[in-house]
Amino acid sequence: MITYQTMGTAMPHIPKRKTNEWIKSVAATYGKKVGDIAYIFCDDDKIIEVNRQYLGHDYYTDIITFDYDDGNVINGDIFISIDTVRSNAEEQGTEYDEELHRVIIHGVLHLCGINDKGPGEREIMEAAENKALDALKEMAKE
């Protein structure tokens, strides 16, 4: 089950049924099934609090993914800072909705086993994000 919650921010407008379908189809391309994924949309104050408390990092970020996977079933809590998503979209000259969807699927890709911290991993993650965003655009045409 995929759930959407907020902490300190308004719920972003996302078509939940279509987004859930998209998330499940992306996970399936990696041989994974979706178990319990909780999206927690928050503000920068909450994301830095989570980052400090659980990861020992003292900086803002757009997403923090806690992985509770069980074999081929992906489970996790995904914190997304709406403030940072919005500022990243502005900095990169992209649409807010596209950046939001990129971050939403970024967390799922982490749960599927794709990393982005080591040498060459960022490029692999970006390619996977772009492929997933293209699939979402195709779904929107249906």
What would the pLDDT profile of 65-100 be if each residue is shown by its tens digit? 999 988 899 999 999 999 999 999 999 999 999 999
Global confidence as pTM: 0.93
Q: Has residue 142 got a pLDDT over 80?
A: no
Q: For residue range 33-63, list pLDDT tens digits in order.
A: 999 999 999 999 999 999 999 999 999 899 9
Angle at 124 between CA 64 and CA 115, to 5 degrees: 35
Distances (CA, A) of 115 to 71, 110, 126, 142: 17, 6, 10, 31
Which residues contact residue 4 at a Cβ distance below 8 angstroms, ignoring those fewer than 6 apart?
11, 14, 16, 39, 41
What was the pLDDT predicted at 140? 79
Measured between its terminal Cα atoms, the distance across the chain in Å is: 24
Residue 141 has pLDDT above 80, yes or no: no
